[in-house]
Structures are given as structure tokens and as C-alpha cells.
């Protein structure tokens, strides 16, 4: 289970004469990892991101949501018995539901993207960990004129068997 704070300006662009960017956002979801060796494996992640938007400096009440599914390689290196460092690179598919604001409308769209990140996990008990993470994401754009690229930082709790 992970939760991330999406840093401002992850979404930005121009539509006509309107300047649009994300003020901040949140991302949450589930991630599963399977390791083929002690250090190398495959990860799958599904999540939703909700970003508070600004149009010409005015904060919009309704956020822009984005649902993603990704899969890709993951690695983990033990730094000491209870501390591990990890990294992942996921590619996948995402979609934006139709969103309507007073000044504009974003049609529902979908497309490919990727995200990669690093984490530092502390093993609290056998098969249970807490982690700090930082990710970079670049997903399909909700419109041709708005890009979706940016950083997020977060926490996750994991358990394994």
C-alpha cells in the first residue's frame, strides 16, 4: 500500500489563452513485488492520482483524476539487516475520466506512460516494512496541450511471505 504527495506543476500547459497547472496532488494505490532472486524481481502497481488544478491562478474546486496500471522490473539491496534500498521502473496504461470545470472541459482520455523511483525501507517485524520513496512519472497527457510529468514523494507499508 502506498501514498504519495505529488509535487506542484506535475501537470502543466496552455489551452487557448488559459494557463493551467496542478497546484498539488495525491496518489495512492497497491503494489505487488515478486523476486526471482534475492535482489531482482518484477513489480505491478495500480493506483489513482488526484491533482488540484489552477487555471490562470484560480484554484479549481474539482481535481483532475488519473488511474494507472503498471508493471516492470524492481531491485532491492540490503544496506544492513533491517534496512533496504530499492528501485523500480514501471511501464503501463492510464486513463483520465471526463472532467468539467466552469471555464473548460477535459474529455476522457487514455494512453501509455511510465514511472520510476527509489525507496528506503525499514523492516519493522518479520515480513513487514515501512518505506520512504521518491518517484518520477511521465504519463499520457489529458489533452494535447497539458503535459503530465513530475515528481512525487511518499510513504508505503508492505508485508510479504
Cell of 98: 471526463
Proportion of the chain above pLDDT 70, given as a percent: 99
pTM, rounded to two decimals: 0.88
**What pLDDT sits at residue 74?**
98
Mean pLDDT of 63-67: 94
Neighbours of 113 (CB within 10 A): 19
In 3D space, the residue among 104, 139, 141, 146 whose CA is nearest the CA of residue 14 turns out to be: 146
3-class state of residue 119 by DSSP: strand
Predicted confidence at residue 107, as pLDDT, reads: 86
Amino acid at each position: 500500500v502506498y501514498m504519495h504527495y505529488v509535487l506542484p506543476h506535475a501537470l502543466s500547459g496552455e489551452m487557448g489563452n488559459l494557463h493551467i497547472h496542478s497546484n498539488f496532488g495525491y496518489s495512492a494505490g497497491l503494489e505487488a513485488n515478486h523476486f526471482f532472486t534475492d535482489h531482482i524481481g518484477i513489480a505491478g502497481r495500480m493506483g489513482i492520482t488526484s491533482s488540484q488544478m489552477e487555471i490562470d491562478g484560480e484554484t479549481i474546486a474539482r481535481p483532475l483524476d488519473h488511474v494507472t496500471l503498471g508493471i516492470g522490473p524492481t531491485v532491492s539491496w540490503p544496506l544492513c539487516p533491517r534496512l533496504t534500498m530499492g528501485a523500480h521502473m514501471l511501464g503501463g496504461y492510464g486513463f483520465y475520466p471526463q472532467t468539467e470545470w466552469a471555464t473548460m472541459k477535459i474529455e476522457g482520455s487514455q494512453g501509455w506512460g511510465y514511472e520510476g523511483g527509489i525507496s528506503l525501507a525499514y523492516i519493522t517485524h518479520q515480513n513487514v516494512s515501512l518505506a520512504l520513496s521518491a518517484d518520477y512519472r511521465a504519463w499520457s497527457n489529458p489533452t494535447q496541450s497539458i503535459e503530465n510529468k513530475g515528481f512525487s514523494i511518499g510513504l508505503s507499508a508492505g508485508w510479504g511471505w
